[in-house]
Amino acid sequence: MMEYAVECKNLTHYYGTRLVFENMNFNVRRGSIFGLLGKNGTGKTTTINILNGFLSPTGGQCLVFGEDSRNLSPATKARMGFLIEGHIQYSFMNIRQIEKFYSCFFPKWNKEPYYELMAKLEVTENQKLSTMSCGQRSQVALGLILAQDPDLMVLDDYSMGLDAGYRRLFLDYLTEYAHGEGKTIFITSHIIQDLEAFMDDCVIIDYRSVLVTMSLKQFRAEFKRYSFDVTNPALKLVKDGVVKNFELIRTHASIYSFNPLPEVEHYLNAHGVEFSGLHEVPMSLEDAFIGITGKY
Amino acid sequence: MYKSVVYKEWLKIRWAYAAMILISVLALGNTILNLKSVVRFHSPVAVWSAVILQSYLFYDIFRFVPLLVALVIAASQFVPEVHSSRLKLSLHLPVRENTIVMQMLSVGLIGVALIYAFIGLALSIITAVNFPTEVLTSMLLTIAPWFLAGVVGYLALATAIVEPRWIRRVILVIVGYGFVDTLLVLGTFKMYERVLPQLTMLGSFFTLGILLSAYRFRRGVR
């Protein structure tokens, strides 16, 4: 049995002459929850489109269960559940019709989780998807994926347009599904803090490059923010092996780094920075994400 | 699985389909009334000779009805698919991409063909009741290119809708319009009698067009 559900090897993509990312490498372990994180326009949906075979990469390749994503077989597609950004589904169908439609295509179809989820919504079986709220449509899309019982779920920005309640409901069902049945989930979202207790591994991408590929536990343990005061309000520190990001507001500075505090202290001294009060500041996942990608 | 595809396509087109049947019935009613009024205001012999001498097309309204039927059904089938890139849902189903596209196409074409069969049968009855057999044969050979124009119009519009690039869409519409316009030219009776099989073969190439456009959509051509 293959160790990875998804393998991206030297993935490179251009839109015309605009580079989206270059030589992106990551693997998604079977049975893990993998988050693809990045700011708007960094290539999250592009990656998902490549993974699903809806885009041919300019270079490199993406393997899904060992198959090149450019030529996914029907058998492999049956093992992949796909949530399109914006929870797109057949809006001309109603709740019953859409379940009936999909049920014939998937050998492991189980309508129970779908109708269980629908029972939580204030909708009737004959209600068309086009008349539902964004939150309700998200649950229909999720219910259909759960009924499909895929081995790999690819969820493109599941949180788009959802309030806190629907986001929680979505993740609660996913957690139950993933951990209860050993499924693999590949997820992207703008709401980073929701994924904090959910993800196992992550890749953080920025414009044209990959910033981090590691387990969430390792990232949370190793990536640090150090604050200190400086005497020079015009101080500039260039990103390098130690400094992953540097922020300065008046005389209050922060360094984001994978290095421990003594090494950062040594770095500042070595660069002739006059500083005081150097200390580590605890971060949430969102703080860490902003720390490594920058605020703008 | 085909049953499921039929079910989905039917849900999309059912209202448009009902409307097209209604329009066909109204056009048939109009044809009957026109024929009756012409017979009333001219002598039956004059009408007979005009039809037999092939200078009066009492079913002329059906030059455009088949095309209208085909275009409306193509639009109601494929516009919802490309809106918000919903076609991704169909192409992600565990079926070969060409198979699912051909199945969708076949549902639309069968739907169109059923309406054409209804129109053809009704016109045949109207003609057979009022005129000799030669006129019936002539009528069928005259309307055949109009039906072919409808089928080509369906394929060309479906292809243009699925095609991801605007420039190609425009080219497809122009080519499709040229082909359809040629078939609808009002000249004489049985105008394309001798080249109808060749025109049908040529029109069928549009089927390859939609497969190519769907492939380009799948590969993310923008």
CB contact (8 A) between residue A92 and residue B95: no
A188 near A218, Cβ under 8 Å?
Answer: no
| % of chain B exceeding 70 in pLDDT | 93
Q: What is the pLDDT of residue B199?
A: 78
Closest of A213, A225, A209 to residue A199, by C-alpha:
A213
User: What residues in B contact A128, CB-CB < 8 Å?
Assistant: none
Q: What is the pLDDT of residue B191?
A: 65
| Torsion sign (Cα): B127, B132, B137, B138 | negative
- Checking if the pLDDT of A41 tops 90, the result is no
Q: How confident is the model at residue B181 (pLDDT cuts 50, 70, 90)?
A: confident
Closest of A255, A225, A250, A216 to residue A238, by C-alpha:
A255
Q: What values do phi and psi take at A212, rounded to 5?
A: -145, 135
Q: What is the pLDDT of residue B38?
A: 80
CB contact (8 A) between residue A77 and residue B12: no
User: What residues in B contact A55, CB-CB < 8 Å?
Assistant: 219-220
- Checking if the pLDDT of B187 tops 60, the result is no
Point out the residue among A97, A105, A106 whose CB comes nearest to the CB of B11. Answer: A97
Q: What is the mean pLDDT of residues A124-135?
A: 89
CB contact (8 A) between residue B89 and residue A77: no
Task: Convert the pLDDT of each residue in B18-53 to its tens digit.
Answer: 999 999 999 999 999 988 888 777 776 777 776 666
Q: What is the pLDDT of residue A48?
A: 94
State the amino acid at position A10 in one-letter form: N
Q: What is the pLDDT of residue B28?
A: 95
| % of chain A exceeding 90 in pLDDT | 54
Q: What is the pLDDT of residue A76?
A: 94
B interface test, pick of A67, A84, A156 with most B CB neighbours within 10 Å: A84
Task: Convert the pLDDT of each residue in B92-120 to its tens digit.
Answer: 999 999 999 999 999 999 999 999 999 99
Q: How far is B1 from chain A (nearest CA, A)?
A: 6
Q: What is the pLDDT of residue A117?
A: 87
Point out the residue among B89, B92, B94 whose CB comes nearest to the CB of A90. Answer: B89
In this complex, how many residue pairs, one in chain A and one in chain B, have their CB atoms less than 8 Å apart? 67
State the amino acid at position B177 in one-letter form: Y
Q: What is the pLDDT of residue A232?
A: 86
Q: Which CATH class is domain A4-218?
A: alpha beta
Q: What's the pTM?
A: 0.86
Point out the residue among A55, A77, A97 whose CB comes nearest to the CB of B92. Answer: A77
* Helix extents (H) in B83-195: 87-91, 97-130, 133-162, 166-184
Question: Looking at chain B from residue 93 to 112, which residues have their Cβ under 8 Å from any Cβ of chain A?
Answer: 93-96
- Where are the CATH 3.30.70 domain residues in chain A? 223-293
- Checking if the pLDDT of A126 tops 70, the result is yes
* B64 membership: H or E segment, kind and range: none
More confident residue, A99 or A235: A99
A261 near A226, Cβ under 8 Å?
Answer: yes
Q: What is the pLDDT of residue B53?
A: 63
Task: Convert the pLDDT of each residue in A191-226 to its tens digit.
Answer: 888 888 888 999 999 888 888 899 999 999 999 999
Phi-psi sector, A144: left (phi>0), alpha (psi -120 to 50), beta: alpha
Q: How far apart are CA A157 and CA A190, in angstroms?
A: 7
Q: How confident is the model at residue B183 (pLDDT cuts 50, 70, 90)?
A: confident
- Both tokens assigned to B69: 């039927």
Instruction: Kindly tell me the burial class for residue B21, based on how many C-beta atoms sit within 10 Å of its own C-beta (0-12, 13-18, 19 or more).
Output: middle
Q: How many residues does chain A have?
A: 296
Q: What values do phi and psi take at A67, rounded to 5?
A: -100, 140
Q: What is the pLDDT of residue A170?
A: 82
Q: What is the mean pLDDT of residues B65-90?
A: 94
For A46, nearest residue in chain B (alpha carbons) = B220
User: What residues in B contact A83, CB-CB < 8 Å?
Assistant: none
For A49, nearest residue in chain B (alpha carbons) = B220
Point out the residue among B4, B84, B92 whose CB comes nearest to the CB of A104. Answer: B4
Q: How far apart are CA A225 and CA A291, in angstroms?
A: 8
Q: What is the pLDDT of residue A293?
A: 87
Q: How far apart are CA A291 and CA A224, in angstroms?
A: 9
Q: How confident is the model at residue A115 (pLDDT cuts 50, 70, 90)?
A: very high
- Checking if the pLDDT of A258 tops 90, the result is yes
- Checking if the pLDDT of B161 tops 90, the result is yes
User: What residues in B contact A101, CB-CB < 8 Å?
Assistant: 4, 7-8
Pick the CATH number of A223-293 from 3.30.70, 3.30.519, 3.40.50, 1.10.3470: 3.30.70
